[in-house]
Structure 1
Amino acid sequence: MSLSYEMENSRAWQTYLAQINQVTPYLEEDLIPFVNTLKRPKRALIVDVPIVMDDGSIQHFEGYRVQHNLSRGPGKGGIRYHPDVELNEVMALAAWMTIKTAVLNLPYGGAKGGVRVDPRKLSPRELERLTRRFTSEISPIIGPQTDIPAPDVGTNASIMGWMMDTYSSIKGHTVTGVVTGKPVHLGGSLGRVRATGRGVFVTGLEVAKKINLSIEGSRVAIQGFGNVGSEAAYLFHKANAKVVCVQDHTGTIYSEQGLDVKQLQNHVAQHQGVAGFPEASMIDDQEFWTIEMDILIPAALEGQITAERAQNLTAKLILEGANGPTYPEAEEILLQRQISIVPDVLCNAGGVTVSYFEWVQDMASYFWTEDEINQRLDKLMMSAVEDVWSKAQEKQCSLRTAAYILACERILKARKERGIFPG
């Protein structure tokens, strides 16, 4: 792991703390004594994950599960497999989940987990062994009423299936609700894979109306073309916006006329990246931040919009598909330039919302159609946008600050009313 990456990840937690400090003056006076609850995780578990490799050797990997706050319900948050995973990053991601679930008014707290590993370097059998061992190590603190993992960067439905099976084996009976994002035939929910991207689109649509930005004909640039970026691109394309630029780990492509998103999805499925897409030109990665655009969707990793990049962005609306893509000093510049930002804790909450639907369906053993899922998702996301927008108008603040005010009020009222035990 590079020193620079460690510093960036440490900064993710500092970014979160800065956001809490910024929102504190807006809170009701009787909630202020409880604010420090939000500035430290409730529980952080670091585990050693030894596995037998295919060649017979034993390798050790470091794993984490952080429960940031459980005042409003069980922890909820993904499991990340990435070579640069470390504790400060996981703490920040868990904290943002606390805020996110509260903004959507879901009955959850925030959690996050991960293993420091490059999953692409493991065989399928090694990946399964890693997942099962990691699950067994964190099993004392997870469960359908305590902490519910889900997929994140580097993990998928199959990995959630292994986690569910391992936990169920430990408990001696099938526990489908211990994770979400599972394969549908193991109790997963329809619509889950596309839910985060759909949420980005729905919140973008609602805020665009409020700032009088026409979606039809608008120029959209997207960083990241995984589940989130590709689905958002597809829905904006269907709404007659022009997706003119896409950047991923393989490079940056550009088309003045707009990209055929369906063709690009097919290309990425075949070639594992946007590079070489025949209907577009390759441009330098840094040009992504200066091209003419109306809507920017950062849907990759955190810490992408720096102060320098914020100075040059031409977007009128930023939809944070990724967690923590905008540094606080960059946001100040963007707001001064009257660029609207739909914050991550609202914008990309479609995934956790459908995870909530999956959990509810598992508890009831009764499952909904994809149309029902999408209708319920759209309704919740639009309601959350309305709540946050109204709070921003009332307090005369940014959408991010409004979202944090709303979330912190809900969390801290729960903390206050539950009291502290033992006293």
Structure 2
Amino acid sequence: MALNETIYNSPVFQQACTQFDAAADILGMEAGLRERTKRPRRCVIVSMPVRMDSGKVEIFEGYRVQHNLSTGPAKGGIRFHQDVTLGEVAALAMWMSWKCSLVGLPYGGAKGGVVVNARDMSLTELERLSRRYMQEITPFIGPNIDIPAPDVGTNEQVMGWMMDTYSNHKGFYDPGVVTGKPIALGGSLGRREATGEGVAWFVKAYLQDMGIPPEKTTVVIQGFGNVGSETALALYHWGAEITGISDFTGGIHNPKGIDLKAALAYVAANKSLQGFPGGESVTNEQLLELPCTVLIPAALERVITGQNARKLKCRLLAEGANGPTTNEADQILSERGDIQIIPDVLCNSGGVIVSYFEWLQNLQNYYWTKNEVFDKLHRMLAKAKASVDETQKKYNCSRRTAALVLGIARVSEAKAKRGLFP
């Protein structure tokens, strides 16, 4: 059965498969190994009854897709969002497989999702949903099986509830079952900042390769959540000017620079950027077309499309989100030739790297300083960048394809060496 005829079929899953096929063609993978490497290994779909504050019981649908279990336990976030689909979760799990492999982590890829608008829930309702989801997937996860983490719509507190639920089922404290937890529950110093720190590190590294100094760098970021805000802060401290930011309510543009401290305080008090007085209001669509040195989509997938790819006015596109650039947009940007791309599997890998560090610390019950965490992170990012740059030159391909070639080659080799269980 063709993958576009399976339960995973969706535009974003097709996007992931098309990217895979381009890399697999370069590698000359034979048909059987190609299909084994591409297809998700396992999918869990759960229905979750949750009692709301009103006393009414609502049923929510949730997913967990484990794409690859051949290179270690699966690893990937849990997304709470009203537009979650099984195909989206499968695509994100596939990208996690290549990302973990690319940066040398002993993990396979996974992803989870619940169809819900978490912003509409009270804290107690969110806790009930988080615990119920963990209860339903407990038979399929564990520190040596599958290790969830936060993603869009979830955070440290949600991970704390999930870890507690799992530990109560097992009968003992087991912090290694999830990462991205509060520090008091075995979280790692630097984990909250890790994805944004990694995005900023790659932006700085590639700008330096391009000969662009920080004082001549302007940055526009779509998505002012955890990843976007931490990226903004890291680049601001480096010397860049943040001229555009946005969230689900819209964006703010100020060519003279946005006061990040004021923006963060405003979001903390008002739960969104809506009404923030620090610049001119723009839509998320308009934000992507603002003139800047660096454009960072750091929210959801498929926001750079065939409709707006020709209108981008940046020199560097850094993919803080997963899958933000469609295949059609990729082709247009390649034909333009004036925008460099740092692909998602490379650009936002800092989060899963420090999740790996958190997992190691949990298993050893020995914890590192923030400086130790970031020092190890930066060394792994530098190694991954060098490998991608070398592979890009070797195959004369795009940076995205080079990153995927590296990640996919390592997973397919592991599958080939392990063989087929009778």
The CA distance in 2 between the partners of 1:233 and 1:275, in whole Å, is 18
- Number of aligned pairs? 414
Match of 2:38 in 1: 39
What letter corresponds to residue 12 of structure 1 in structure 2? V
Aligned counterpart, 1:129: 128
Look up the match of 1:10. Answer: 10
TM superposition shift of 1:151: 0.6
Whichever residue aligns with residue 92 of structure 2, its letter is L
Displacement after TM superposition at 1:346 (Å) = 0.7
Instruction: Assess, with a 3 A threshold, how the Cα gap between structure 1 residues 59 and 24 changes in structure 2: closer, same or farther.
Output: same
Maintained 8 Å contact 2:302/2:325: yes
Which residue in the other structure is 2:395 paired with?
Answer: 395
SS class of match (1:222)? strand
More displaced stretch, 235-244 vs 137-146: 235-244
Alignment of 1:2-401 (within 5 A): 10-28=10-28, 33-338=32-337, 339-401=339-401
After superposition, the C-alpha distances for 1:390-423 in whole angstroms (9 at most, x for unaligned) are 110111111100000000111011111111102x
Distance in 1 separating the partners of 2:283 and 2:185: 43
Displacement after TM superposition at 1:108 (Å)? 0.2
CA distance in 1, matches of 2:291, 2:122: 42
The match for 1:3 is none
Q: CA deviation at 1:32?
A: 5.7
The whole-number CA distance in structure 1 between the counterparts of 2:317 and 2:395 is 21
- More off after superposition, 315-324 vs 232-241: 232-241
User: 2: CA distance between counterparts of 1:398 and 1:215?
Assistant: 25
Q: Is the 8 A contact 1:9 1:86 kept in 2?
A: no
- The alignment partner of 2:47 has SS state of strand
Question: Which letter maps to 1:358?
Answer: E
| Cα deviation, residue 286, structure 1 | 3.4
Superposed CA deviations along residues 181-240 of structure 1, whole A, max 9, x for unmatched, are 111111110111111000000111112222333333211111000111111111111111
Output the TM-score relative to the length of structure 2: 0.95
How far apart are 1:55 and its partner, in Å?
2.7
CA contact (8 A) 1:74 1:109 kept: yes
CA contact (8 A) 1:202 1:382 kept: no
For the Cα contact (< 8 Å) 2:159–2:179, is it kept in 1?
yes
Cross-structure match for 2:4: none
User: Relative to structure 1, is the Cα distance of residues 274 and 307 closer, same or farther in structure 2, using a 3 angstrom cutoff?
Assistant: same
CA deviations on 1:7-38 (whole Å, 9 max, x unpaired) are: x9911100000001111121155x66411123
Matched residues in 1 for 2:381 and 2:307: separation? 32
**Greater mean deviation of Cα atoms: 375-384 or 121-130:** 121-130
Q: Is the 8 A contact 2:37 2:415 kept in 1?
A: no
The one-letter code of the counterpart of 2:14 is Q
Query: C-alpha distance in 2, partners of 1:55/1:201?
Result: 44
Name the aligned partner's letter for residue 418 of structure 1: R
Partner of 1:4: none
Gap runs ≥5 in structure 1: 1-7
Alpha-carbon deviation of 1:284?
4.3
Distance (Å, rounded) in 1 between the aligned partners of 2:277 and 2:148: 39
Change (3 A) 1:54 1:290: closer
RMSD of aligned residue pairs (Cα, Å) = 1.5
- Residues 285 and 186 from structure 1, CA distance in 2 versus in 1: closer, same or farther, beyond 3 angstroms? closer
Separation in structure 2 between the aligned mates of residue 16 and residue 176 of structure 1, nearest angstrom: 32
Distance of 1:281 and 1:358 partners within structure 2: 40
TM-score (norm 1): 0.95
Aligned in 2, Cα 1:115/1:335: closer, same or farther, shift over 3 Å? Answer: same
> Contact 2:222/2:284 (CA < 8 Å) preserved in 1?
no
Residue in structure 1 matched with residue 410 of structure 2 by the alignment: 410
Instruction: For 1:402, give the aligned amino acid.
Output: A
Deviation at 1:39, TM superposition (A): 2.5
State the shift of 1:164 in Å: 0.9
Instruction: Specify the code of the residue in structure 1 equivalent to 2:78.
Output: I
SS of 1:307's equivalent in the other structure is coil
Shift of 1:162: 1.2
Give the 3-state SS of the residue equivalent to 1:306 in structure 2.
Answer: coil
C-alpha separation in 1, matches of 2:133 and 2:185? 20
Identity %: 48
Structure 1 position 332, deviation (Å): 1.1
SS of 2:244's equivalent?
strand
Offset, 1:173: 1.2
SS in 2 for 1:381: helix
Indicate the SS of the match to 1:45: strand
Assess, with a 3 A threshold, how the Cα gap between structure 1 residues 112 and 387 changes in structure 2: closer, same or farther.
same
